[in-house]
Structure 1
Amino acid sequence: MSIRTVQQLIPARQVSDGAGVKIKRSLGLSQQLRLDPFLMLDCFGSDQANDYIAGFPAHPHRGFETVTYMLHGHMLHEDHMGNKGHLKSGGVQWMTAGRGIIHSEMPQQESGLMQGFQLWLNLPAAEKMKAAAYVDIAPEHIPQAALASGGQVKVIAGRIQTDQLTLDGAIRGLSTDPQFYDLHLQADEHIALQLPAVYNALLYVYEGNLELPTSQQPASIGVHHAAVLSQGDEVQIKALSDTKVILLAGKPIGEPVVQYGPFVMNTPDEIEQAIRDYQAGKLTGDQPLQAIQI
């Protein structure tokens, strides 16, 4: 059994996106700060309406998937086909942009806390031009369980495995086999998670702090830091306080990535085609958006 250690620590930086929404970005701050198959990870969280009220008006995507996990708040998703979805506290929207989608994500509250994550997950070349699809996952449909060590876990995607627990998530069967866990750990709690050794993986602490192995000595990972992990079979985590942390892992695609804003393809020519298609109103094609059932 090989233990994963901290390979790189990425402090999240405050940026603005959409119509001025304040977010904390770790993956995706630059082209060098990606982790195949993950392109970007944003954490948003504020109880000040001015930080989020303008939302994300209509915008396009092509070539990847977006995963929005709403911890607190209420967001309305609308797309070019007239579909609407209400994303509320504890819920997830998993959207495959494929060949193209135009959508908006707008807050449905004028005050209070809005907090959550958005993850951009790359698609392999063979899937970049497939029909767009999405699934809205209500909180009660996200598998969760108590950990033997005292904490709790929600499994949004993949399968979590410890010595005492195996639990399948709400989303499975994708080509990159994404693993997406939300772990709530108590102070001094230890947990060991098994992952496929060749998958890329990282942790993002959004409350508290934890300790992870390194090649020298244990490293303390504080709030709003992403820790990119080395290859290995097992992740060993020790919570230094009551801690909430996202774990992401996935099968690398190993293909070139060319990104221009909301378009992520494999070559510059494909990006130029996406821009032409969008300008000509042909980004989405003639195929209807599919609502995936779980």
Structure 2
Amino acid sequence: MIAARKIGKVFKSKPVIEGAGVNLKRAFGFSQVPLFDPFLLLDDFRSDNPADYLKGFPWHPHRGIETITYVLQGTVEHGDSLGNSGLITAGSVQWMTAGSGIIHEEMPFGDRHGFLAGFQLWANLPASQKMTTPRYRQISSAEIPKLHLDNGVEIHLISGHIEEQDGPVNNIVIDPEFLDITIPAGVTFTHHTIKGYTVLAYIIAGKGLFCREDEPFSYETEGVNYFDMETEQFLENETLVLFTDGDTITVTTEDDPLRFLLISGMPLNEPIAWHGPIVMNTQAELRKAFEEYQNGTFIQNG
């Protein structure tokens, strides 16, 4: 029997300052571990004020994770210790596997109107691949399939598999699905998910009804849970939904269209030792990583 996923929790993203002084919104992060396993963090860096983002993210290390950067407007200039450099332009994705260690910088720039829009997701690596060789992949907008369904739904397929079409990102250990979905007004959309996988949605425009809940759900903002008694509540921009387990999700729009990121992956169910840009399985591994960074032996491949 096919089981429909329900809303497990709803979160509102919260302002944080990262890098050299970048103002962004965090949908989830360290304080929610391991709720989103295998995912660690999702940041929303949309702004029309260059002062919010121009200081950027100067050279810093990563180990034990993958970072996925999806840019919608503006550009992010990238450089790393593997010798890669270039621009993540509007509609494109950078999928970076830090593995045993990479040092990089990310410097954002707005479009001609000063607007920057993008998202960065951190995915954990299992213990068996924490020290794998680092890898960098740049996926242009032209490489990302744009699916147009009969009901008007549009899907940008970054990773995953829909209707015999594969996304350009594959061979990722957590078997992720990363979709950018736009649903027009007055449409119901159902999407199949893999049972046992973590599934979340982050709304980036419009409003919609998720799962048409028959029961109230937990709503978290500013670190406090509120019990929401409205069972037919429209969810809007900068809202994140974490679903319960099941085989499908259903999203409905009424008077307004809706755009959201739909992300899923296979949980690792492993211990997490996390400090700053490095995520390992034990505190000893974490200490070793920072010691190697300080003494210049952090980069072990390439």
Q: CA deviation at 1:166?
A: 4.1
- 2:292 aligned residue (265, 277, 284): 277
Question: Separation in 1 of the partners of 2:265 and 2:110?
Answer: 34
Q: Could you tell me whether the CA contact under 8 Å between 1:27 and 1:34 is conserved in 2?
A: no
Q: What corresponds to 1:204 in structure 2? A: 202
Question: Separation in 1 of the partners of 2:20 and 2:186?
Answer: 41
Q: Could you tell me whether the CA contact under 8 Å between 1:60 and 1:101 is conserved in 2?
A: yes
Runs of 5+ consecutive residues of structure 1 not aligned to the other structure: 289-294
Q: What corresponds to 1:122 in structure 2? A: 124
Q: Deviations over 1:235-261 (max 9, x none)?
A: 101124111100000011110111011
Backbone CA RMSD of aligned residues? 1.4
Question: Separation in 2 of the partners of 1:239 and 1:22?
Answer: 31
Q: Could you tell me whether the CA contact under 8 Å between 1:28 and 1:34 is conserved in 2?
A: no
- In the TM superposition, 1:247-262 aligns within 5 A as 247-262=262-277
Runs of 5+ consecutive residues of structure 2 not aligned to the other structure: 216-230
Q: CA deviation at 1:263?
A: 0.6
Q: What corresponds to 1:232 in structure 2? A: 246
Which residue identity is paired with 1:205?
A: I
- In the TM superposition, 1:80-99 aligns within 5 A as 80-99=81-100
Q: What corresponds to 1:7 in structure 2? A: 8
Q: Deviations over 1:265-292 (max 9, x none)?
A: 000000000011100111111x21xxxx
Which residue identity is paired with 1:204?
A: Y
- In the TM superposition, 1:130-169 aligns within 5 A as 130-160=132-162, 165-169=163-167
Q: Deviations over 1:18-61 (max 9, x none)?
A: 11111110120514474010000011111111011111110100
State the identity as a percent: 37
Q: What corresponds to 2:75 in structure 1? A: 74
Count of paired positions: 283
Which residue identity is paired with 2:68?
A: V
Question: Separation in 2 of the partners of 1:265 and 1:125?
Answer: 8
Which residue identity is paired with 2:168?
A: A
Which contiguous aligned blocks of 4+ residues in structure 1 show a shift greater than 3 angstroms? 31-34, 108-111
Question: Separation in 2 of the partners of 1:32 and 1:266?
Answer: 13
- In the TM superposition, 1:43-54 aligns within 5 A as 43-54=44-55
Q: What corresponds to 2:115 in structure 1? A: 113
- 1:178 aligned residue (155, 170, 176): 176
Question: Separation in 1 of the partners of 2:90 and 2:258?
Answer: 19
Q: CA deviation at 1:71?
A: 0.4
Q: Could you tell me whether the CA contact under 8 Å between 1:207 and 1:223 is conserved in 2?
A: yes
